Amino acid sequence: MIKVVHTIKETRDAVNAWRKEGLTVGLVPTMGFLHEGHQSLIKRAVAECDRVVVSDFVNPMQFGPTEDLESYPRDLQADTKLCDETGAHLIFNPEPEEMYDKGFCSFVDMTGPTAELCGKSRPIHFRGVCTVVCKLFNIVGPDRAYFGQKDAQQLAVIKRMVKDLNMPIEIVGCPIIRESDGLAKSSRNTYLSPEERKAALILSKTVFMGEKLVREGLTDAKKLVELMKKNIETEPLARIDYVEVVDMDDISIKDTVTGDTLIAMAVYIGKTRLIDNFIVSDKGV
Ligand code: PAF
């Protein structure tokens, strides 16, 4: 039976007991309201580690002042059921005060891979992500940590942080999980009205279109972005934040789709900002 704990001490005590038995530990950091995307990360962690901790914490530090911190969906009971059924061993669900006590003033910040894409439109976001993920790594001390490829820039940022700060943790990226009609799974999909839910399909449709264009031989990044943007603009409820072609590791803008390339987009559907992407590697799309 899965255990839910709310304090750093309880989490450390559980992990220390496992370590005494020589067990390996995986961490799946989440903000809760878990769906099949998170479940695929937990499944992978369960397959690769003896014990799995899921952190379930809506991190205030990564939300801008006008963003959706208050309305971000929460359901610890459903999360607990999903984690239990998927084979995780511990949920760490702290209150914000447990993570950020009075006087908190230390941050993990990054230049480079945070400069483009979501870092441009959400200027304090990655400082919040890096700080909380660093804290979670220090609290749990996992052998491996699992992140979704849907947040491709976040994955690149965390990999860079671990490398730069010599954290002895293997970062495992896991594929995007989609609804049967193509929409990438996201906790924020719950914000969409039925009409917006239909309109949101423009993201995955544009991803599939982009993949097809690259498969057919298009390598000019400018042209690819132009065609993808044109396609998104056919949807009246969509407003483009960005469509960019970047290097998959350092998130610098690229002119050509060659080598490890990330084609990423953020699009508002009504008030809801959704992201999606695809990757082109040397092996193809
Ligand atoms: O991807 C998320 O859900 C969050 O950014 C993370 C990694 C759990 C940090 O709060």
- d(CA 151, ligand 1 centre) in Å: 9
Domain with CATH 3.40.50.620 in the chain: 3-174
Q: Name which residue sits closest to atom 8 of ligand 1, judged by CA.
A: 30
Does residue 21 carry a pLDDT above 90?
yes
* Percentage of the residues of the chain whose pLDDT score is greater than 90: 98
Cα–Cα distance measured from residue 98 to residue 119, given in angstroms and rounded to the nearest whole number: 27
Closest atom of ligand 1 to CA, residue 158: 7
pLDDT bracket for residue 237 (50, 70, 90): very high
Residues 222-232 have a mean pLDDT of: 98
User: What is the torsional sign of CA 91, 96, 97, 99?
Assistant: positive
Cα–Cα distance measured from residue 107 to residue 103, given in angstroms and rounded to the nearest whole number: 12
E strand segments, the chain: 3-5, 25-30, 51-56, 90-92, 144-148, 170-174, 238-247, 261-269, 272-280
Q: Is the pTM of this model over 0.95?
A: yes
Q: Which two tokens stand for residue 260?
A: 């490890």
pLDDT value for 285: 82
Q: Name which residue sits closest to atom 9 of ligand 1, judged by CA.
A: 129
- d(CA 31, ligand 1 centre) in Å: 6
Q: Does domain 3-174 have CATH number 3.40.50.620?
A: yes
Q: Which two tokens stand for residue 154?
A: 């976040």
Residues with CB under 6 A from ligand 1: 29-31, 59, 62, 129, 132-133, 151, 154
- Supply angle C-alpha 76, 81, 86, rounded to 5: 125
Q: Name which residue sits closest to atom 1 of ligand 1, judged by CA.
A: 30
Closest atom of ligand 1 to CA, residue 62: 10
- d(CA 137, ligand 1 centre) in Å: 13
Residues 169-193 have a mean pLDDT of: 98
Cα–Cα distance measured from residue 123 to residue 140, given in angstroms and rounded to the nearest whole number: 28
- d(CA 130, ligand 1 centre) in Å: 9
Does residue 142 carry a pLDDT above 90?
yes
Residues 245-251 have a mean pLDDT of: 98
Closest atom of ligand 1 to CA, residue 187: 3
CATH number attached to the domain at 187-278: 3.30.1300.10
CA-wise closest residue to 229 among 185, 189, 264: 264
How far lies 33's CA from each of 30, 52, 198, 261, in Å?
A: 9, 18, 21, 30
pLDDT value for 282: 79
Residues 240-261 have a mean pLDDT of: 97
Residues 188-197 have a mean pLDDT of: 98
How far lies 177's CA from each of 33, 36, 78, 167, in Å?
A: 15, 7, 19, 28
Residue 43: φ, ψ to 5°: -55, -45
Q: Which two tokens stand for residue 213?
A: 């264009």
Does residue 97 carry a pLDDT above 90?
yes
CA-wise closest residue to 251 among 279, 285, 273, 274: 279
CA-wise closest residue to 276 among 118, 45, 69, 67: 118
pLDDT value for 14: 98
125 counts as catalytic: no
- d(CA 169, ligand 1 centre) in Å: 17
Closest atom of ligand 1 to CA, residue 31: 3
pLDDT value for 284: 79
pLDDT bracket for residue 121 (50, 70, 90): very high
Domain with CATH 3.30.1300.10 in the chain: 187-278
pLDDT bracket for residue 161 (50, 70, 90): very high
SS3 63: coil
Catalytic residue among 35, 38, 89, 125: 38
pLDDT value for 212: 98
How far lies 7's CA from each of 50, 269, 282, in Å?
A: 22, 37, 44
Does residue 283 carry a pLDDT above 90?
no
Q: Which residues contact 82 (CB under 8 A, 6 or more apart)?
A: 34, 38, 39, 42
CA-based Rg of the chain, rounded to a whole angstrom?
A: 19
